[in-house]
Chains A and B, each alone.
Chain A
Amino acid sequence: MTLLDALWSRGDEAPLRALVSDDFRYALSAGTRTMDLSAYLETVHGFRAAFSPIELLFHRVLCEGGRVAAHYSLLGEHSGPFYGTEPTGRVGSLEVMSVLHFEADRLVRQTSVTDFLTLRRRLAARDT
């Protein structure tokens, strides 16, 4: 999961760019709205602007065929505005599970489920 660690921890797009297919799509949940690579990177950089530095903590990575399931936490200091919440300076933790699909050694699709609401509530609760 070097590509996830490089991207989220250091903002290094190179490992991801080296792996993605031309028609890569990213989905937050399984809804119909998916993102292309540039929109995905914009989302990542937006989160990194709100939480810095970020550390990825992998709980488990499963591989089967051309698919990888990763369960991890993003830990970072809340240093910028996040969904209307001003910086608190607290360390926030965002839980994520992702499934990455590879075809012919290229990353074609990533679907992630995250719990933004719990993160926002924890940041808000610690402020009061």
Chain B
Amino acid sequence: MSFGGFDSVEGLRGAAVRFMETAWRQRDPDAVRALAGPDYRYALGSHDDTLPIEGYLRLLATFQHAFDDLVLAVLETVAEGDHVALHLVLAGRHVRELFGIAARGSEGRLDLMTRLEFRDRRVHRQYAVTDFSTLTAIMRS
């Protein structure tokens, strides 16, 4: 059984959690780059229009700029083969414009599920489904 280059499923799971925590908590682009593979691509859903790591970092920066006090919680992981699915919740306070919606100081939580595929112990593909309806409702509240 392959675990994306790790010796065990727990090693794979730990790397997946570390990648998401580094991306959302540390605000350190170089640390995120170090965990992504050379051919990393990010896809919202399953769509073909994917982003390289620099595009993903810009996406992160956009959210991190718009929300203060961002807290990431990993609710659940399911790992098999080279893949890990994570159910995450982001909580924060909307303090700057995002997607054309002015900040009102609203606080809320956003659900997302992400699937990471690893190769050679680094993230090769990332697929995310985000509950944007709830995010928009929070920002307008």
Using a CB–CB distance below 8 Å, which chain A residues touch chain B?
28-31, 57, 59-60, 62-64, 67-69, 71, 73, 93, 95-97, 99, 111, 113-118
Contacts and interface: CB of A to CB of B under 8 A. Distances in A.
B19 to A, nearest CB: 17
A73 B46 contact: yes
Contact of A59 (B46, B79, B87, B112): B46
A97 B134 contact: no
Nearest to A68: B78
B14 to A, nearest CB: 14
Contact of B113 (A57, A67, A97): A97
B85 interface: yes
Secondary structure call for the A interface = strand
Interface residues of B, number: 30
Interface of B: 9, 44-46, 75-76, 78-81, 83-85, 87, 89, 109, 111-115, 127, 129-136
Contact of B111 (A57, A93, A113, A118): A113
Given A64-B79, A71-B46, A95-B46, A115 B132 contact: yes
A69 B78 CA distance: 6
A99 B129 contact: no
A52 to B, nearest CB: 21
Q: Which 3 A-B pairs have the closest CB atoms?
A: A95-B45, A69-B85, A97-B113
